[in-house]
Amino acid sequence: MLTKTQIRLVVCCLCVVAATTLAQRKKPTTMQACNKPDCHDQFEMKEYLHGPIALGECTVCHKPEDVAKHTFKFAREGNDLCVNCHLEQTAGKNVHKPVKEGKCIQCHNPHSSDSEGLLRKETVAEVCADCHKVTDHEYLHGPTAVGECSICHNPHSSDEKNLLTMKPSELCVSCHEVTKNELAKFEFIHEPAKGDCVGCHDPHGADNWKMLKGEAPEMCYSCHEDIKKIAADSKYKHGVVVEKGGCLKCHTPHASTAKYLLKAAPKDMCMTCHNKPQKISEDEVLPAFTDELKNKKFLHGPVKDKDCSGCHMTHGSDHFRLLADSYPPIFYSPFAEENYALCFLCHEKSLVRTATTSDLTSFRNGEENLHFLHVNKERRGRTCRACHQTHASNQPKHIRKSVPYGMWDLPLNFKKTETGGSCLPGCHVKKNYDRDNPVDYSVSRLPKKAEPKPDDGAKPADATEGGEEKKPDEKNV
């Protein structure tokens, strides 16, 4: 004996076999009573027939009630009429509403159709569009554009939400293989890309490129509220952050080999813009960063480590040049610890607070700390940039060759020795320093002036008219 389920499967198989094209089918004999001209003969004229129709078994669905009056009733009530044969269509946890309510004929013609699947319209998309308006957008998802909704959705039931044909984390990458490979190989993955693609993309269509639900940066701000606050409130803004689509110029949306989903290593990413001059305002243009490094022997630590974020904030800052902390924007600045907070992120504060030292710095004359001497001036305290090149230099300790001073490039003329060095800048005479043999600046280092020679015929001040030496006045001794 066959079970009820097995019988249903046999009937379904017979229906499938019987659903043949018009050219192949033979006219059924058991349906002749219904198939008379001007009655139901039009069913056979369609390309696709419902199984029972093809077999001539009208009574599978219709039961005669009064033959004389030609009245019938359905063989079963509600969706059980269709599910009795199409059991697999409701097997999923989530059932399409028309199927659940027994409204199968809302989408399908129960007898025959010129469309595959006995659809009432030519394509699946046209049938879906009666309820689901998803095509009124500038950009459409490929399956939506060509009307193949069933690529992503099961029209009857599914174990997945929204009647998806497979798990969301698997569905999108079943077509988007490039992204699939990135997610499998790359170390850093954007959280939504792990399975929530619809967090950023509309799966059917959108008015934005790539079917994004919004434009960057506003769409990105919906999750990255901290970045939104920085971009909005910072005194100095990174231009690319606030411009349309700016986030995607530096970050990849799915996965990356670089931290923070950068499209390249941090320094390389910065150089995509800063390899050429950048206009800051009508009066100011930043030079190309690559020019500052070209042919330089000595690189500042963060530059050497290719870590621009060591000194600069990526998205915005309250300090000029997007610096990570305070640093005087002007050449001369009175010393205050808070003014140099940026430098003190790496360098010890005692470097400029200690007047004498034997080991804190090599820039000393004996034990006199020359950093302390230069910086601690109330009126014209020098900033670090007065002597040091910020990014790179051809001289040890990043010493500058010259300093911009209005129209003049003020030279430093720095020379290093084994135990000290010297400089002859445009701001003071040449001065030497030596750690082992300190230079004594308590006495004048200027050469002595020569005694003036007397004019011809003039008497020396210390001689008598007769040439005898003048004796000192005892009262004045």
pLDDT 10s digits, 291-345: 999 999 999 999 999 999 999 999 999 999 999 999 988 877 778 888 889 999 9
Domain boundary among 69, 101, 120: 120
What are the residue ranges of helices labelled H in 140-199? 142-145, 168-171, 177-185
- In the predicted model, what is the mean pLDDT of residues 429-441? 94
Q: Is 183 helix (H, G, I), strand (E, B) or coil?
A: helix
The one-letter code for the residue type at 127 is: V
pLDDT band at 68 (very low <50, low <70, confident <90, very high): confident
Domain boundary among 78, 93, 120: 120
pLDDT band at 380 (very low <50, low <70, confident <90, very high): confident
What does the radius of gyration of the chain's CA atoms come to, in whole angstroms? 45
Domain boundary among 61, 86, 120: 120
pLDDT of 3 over the 60 cut: no
Taking CB atoms within 8 Å and a gap of at least 24, the contacts of 321-326 are 321/236, 322/236, 322/238
Range of the domain at 72: 4-120
Q: Residue 470's pLDDT is what?
A: 39
State the residue for tokens 């001209």. 37
Sequence length of the chain is 477
- In the predicted model, what is the mean pLDDT of residues 200-224? 93
Q: Residue 54's pLDDT is what?
A: 84
Q: What are phi and psi of 7, to 5 degrees?
A: -60, -45
Number of Cβ atoms within 10 Å of the Cβ of 442: 5
Number of Cβ atoms within 10 Å of the Cβ of 202: 21
Q: Residue 77's pLDDT is what?
A: 87
The one-letter code for the residue type at 477 is: V
Q: Is residue 322 part of a domain?
A: no
Residue 57's beta-bridge partner residues? none
Token duo for residue 310:
């060591």
Q: Is 70 helix (H, G, I), strand (E, B) or coil?
A: coil
Q: Residue 106's pLDDT is what?
A: 93
State the residue for tokens 């199409």. 86
Q: Is residue 218 part of a domain?
A: no
- Positive or negative, the CA dihedral 384, 390, 392, 394 is negative
Cβ partners under 8 Å of residue 47, min gap 6: 21, 22, 112, 113, 114, 115
Say if CB 390 and CB 453 are below 8 A apart. Answer: no
The pLDDT tens digits for 114-132 are 999 999 999 888 999 999 8
Q: Is residue 250 part of a domain?
A: no
What are the residue ranges of helices labelled H in 61-141? 80-83, 97-100, 124-128
Q: Is residue 37 part of a domain?
A: yes
Q: Residue 224's pLDDT is what?
A: 95
Q: Is residue 44 part of a domain?
A: yes
pLDDT of 466 over the 50 cut: no
- Positive or negative, the CA dihedral 158, 162, 165, 166 is negative
**Across 75-148, where does the E strand assignment appear?**
94-95, 112-113, 139-140
| Model confidence, pTM | 0.72
pLDDT of 18 over the 60 cut: no
Say if CB 173 and CB 197 are below 8 A apart. Answer: no
Lowest-pLDDT range, 147-161, 374-388, 403-417?
374-388
Of 151, 131, 135, 132, nearest in space to 143 by CA: 151
Q: How far apart are CA 294 and CA 200, in angstroms?
A: 41
Q: Is residue 356 part of a domain?
A: yes
pLDDT band at 157 (very low <50, low <70, confident <90, very high): very high
Between 143 and 382, residue with greater pLDDT: 143
String of DSSP letters for 190-203: -GGGGT-GGGTB-S
- Cα-Cα-Cα-Cα torsion 108, 109, 112, 118, nearest 10 degrees, comes to -10
Average pLDDT taken over every residue of the chain: 85
Q: Is residue 27 part of a domain?
A: yes
Give burial (CB, 10 Å; 0-12/13-18/19+) of 358. Answer: exposed
Going from the C-alpha of 106 to that of each of 45, 76, 156, the distances in angstroms are 21, 18, 12
Between 207 and 463, residue with greater pLDDT: 207
Q: What are phi and psi of 24, to 5 degrees?
A: -95, -25
Q: Is residue 41 part of a domain?
A: yes
Domain count, the chain: 2
